[in-house]
Amino acid sequence: MNPVNYLYLAALLFTIGASGVLIRRNAIVVFMCIELMLNACNLALVAFSRIHGNLDGQIIAFFTMVVAAAEVVIGLAIIVSLFRSRHSASVDDASLMKL
């Protein structure tokens, strides 16, 4: 199977994720969309690895996973404390950082 198709899939997944981040208000969904973008990147990296016939892309994908895991921990903690204090998971409600 032509590995370029995986790149098309990765681009599609990334676009879906990016649109979700921009459009959805619910913090959990936004968060999931970020995960989607990260995994789209991973898919692209693995595909590049395959195309070029070396392991560089796969190694970077591992790094991405580690970063994503750390991000999940912190991100979910923020969302939980946000929900506790405001009883809402909407990202638009947390708009205090403005003039």
Partner 1 sequence: MENLIALLVAAPLLGAAVLLCGGRRLDRAGHWIGTVLAAASFVIGVVLFTGMLGKGAEDRALHQHLFSWIPVEGFQADVAFQLDQLSMTFVLLITGVGTLIHIYSIGYMEHDERRRRFFGYLNLFLAAMLVLVIADNYLLLYVGWEGVGLASYLLIGFWQHKPSAATAAKKAFLVNRVGDMGLSIAIMLMFTTFGTFAFGPVLGATGDTSEGKLTAIGLMLLLAACGKSAQVPLQSWLGDAMEGPTPVSALIHAATMVTAGVYLIVRSGAIFDAAPDAQLAVVIVGAVTLLFGAVVGCAKDDIKKALAGSTMSQIGYMILAAGLGPVGYVFAIMHLVTHGFFKAGLFLGAGSVMHGMNDEVDMRKYGGLRKYMPVTFVTFGLGYLAIIGFPGLSGFFSKDMIIEAAFAKGGTQGWILGCVTLLGAGITAFYMTRVMLLTFFGEKRWQPDAEGHEPHPHESPKSMTVPMIVLAFGSVFAGGFFSIGDRFMHWLEPVTGHDHGHAPVSAATVTAATMVVLVIGAAIAWAMYGRRPVPAVAPRGSLLTRAARRDLLQDDFNHVVLVRGGEHLTRSLVYVDHTLVDGVVNGTAATMGGLSGRLRKLQNGYARSYAVSMFGGAAVLIAATLLMRAV
Residues at the interface with partner 1 (CB under 8 A):
18, 21-23, 25, 30, 91-92, 94-99
**Contact 89/27 with Cβ under 8 angstroms?**
yes
Give the nearer residue to partner 1 in terms of CB position, either 58 or 64.
64
| Residues 75, 89: Cα–Cα separation, whole Å | 12
Q: In whole angstroms, what is the distance from residue 6 CA to residue 46 CA?
A: 9
Least distance in Å: CB of 36 to partner 1? 14
DSSP assignment letter at 90: B
Distance between CA atoms of residues 9 and 1, nearest Å: 13
37 vs 45, beta carbon nearer partner 1: 37
Which CB atom, from 30 or from 68, has the smaller least distance to partner 1? 30
Could you tell me the smallest distance in angstroms from the CB atom of residue 69 to partner 1?
A: 22
